[in-house]
Amino acid sequence: MSDELRPVVMCGPSGVGKTTLKEMLMEKYPGKFGFSVSHTTRPPRTGEVDGRDYFFSDKAGMEEMIKEDKFVEYARVHRNIYGTSISAVQNVREAGRICILDIDIQGVKTIMNGTAHKELMPYYLFVQPHEFSALEARLRKRATDTEEQIQTRIETAKKEIAASKTVPFDKFLTNENLEDAFVEYESFFLDLYPSLSKQEEVAGSMFRNRRCLTKAFLSSLLIGFAFHGGKV
């Protein structure tokens, strides 16, 4: 596989900002990335779309897929099953895009220690919170879970952060504030995929040209205003 299509496995506790970072990257580099849409038995949150955020499935259906070996990895997280299907990763790759997987630490270990590591050759990234209290606040602000679910997620997050220290991630990124975290997140990708830098140059120059045009437009308005002595 070309190095330019090696996937990125992203891991980190729920609420740490992985989805936001991924969406910002995908928006900045249209057509370059694709998200591996996982299967899950958890119900959709408000605003989540089946087939875009997850394939929302029932337990029997997922157990069947597990038996049929249809998953690259799967794990039981927060009393639900989550899994990355082989076809989810294949679809992204066939579209010629870099695949981003967002999975928990059990799934990371399954991939790292199994045949999938050799087949996919992914890079591994762990996103961690600056302070635990900030993560807890974000989970509460999201207001999508019950208090019991929030407590479960907090417990899982603690275990996940502790376990991450023993896993050889290629990068640990701390999300203290989104703007700085995105700069670091983007530069991790720019280092891995040199072709992105070219796209960034084009995007940058388009941005500069737009600013020049806006300036020219404003200047012409001012000149017109001065010429007519302020009369319309």
CB of 169 to ligand 5GP, least distance (A): 14
Residue nearest ligand 5GP (C-beta atom): 107
C-beta of residue 141 within 8 angstroms of C-beta of residue 185? no
C-beta of residue 38 within 8 angstroms of C-beta of residue 102? yes
84 near ligand 5GP, rule: CB under 6 A: yes
Catalytic residue among 93, 97, 140, 142: 142
Residues 123-152: x/- map of binding to ligand 5GP (CB under 6 A)? ------------------------------
From residue 163, alpha-carbon distances to 11, 76, 84, 99, 103 in Å are 11, 16, 21, 24, 14
Tell me the sheet residues that pair with 83. Answer: 39, 74
Question: Tokens for 9?
Answer: 């496995």
Residue with tokens 């790292």: 112
Which listed range, 76-84, 91-99, 118-126, 134-142, lies at the site for ligand 5GP (CB under 6 A)? 76-84
Would you call 46 helix, strand, or coil by DSSP?
A: coil
Binding residue for ligand 5GP, selected from 102, 127, 135, 169, defined by CB under 6 A: 102
Binding residue for ligand 5GP, selected from 77, 135, 139, 150, defined by CB under 6 A: 77
Binding residue for ligand 5GP, selected from 20, 87, 91, 106, defined by CB under 6 A: 106
Query: Which residue, 114 or 224, has its beta carbon nearer to ligand 5GP?
Result: 114
From residue 84, alpha-carbon distances to 62, 94, 141, 164, 220 in Å are 11, 16, 28, 20, 55
Residues annotated catalytic, as ranges: 45, 142, 153
Residues that bind ligand 5GP (CB under 6 A): 14, 38, 42, 73, 75, 77, 82-84, 102-104, 106-107
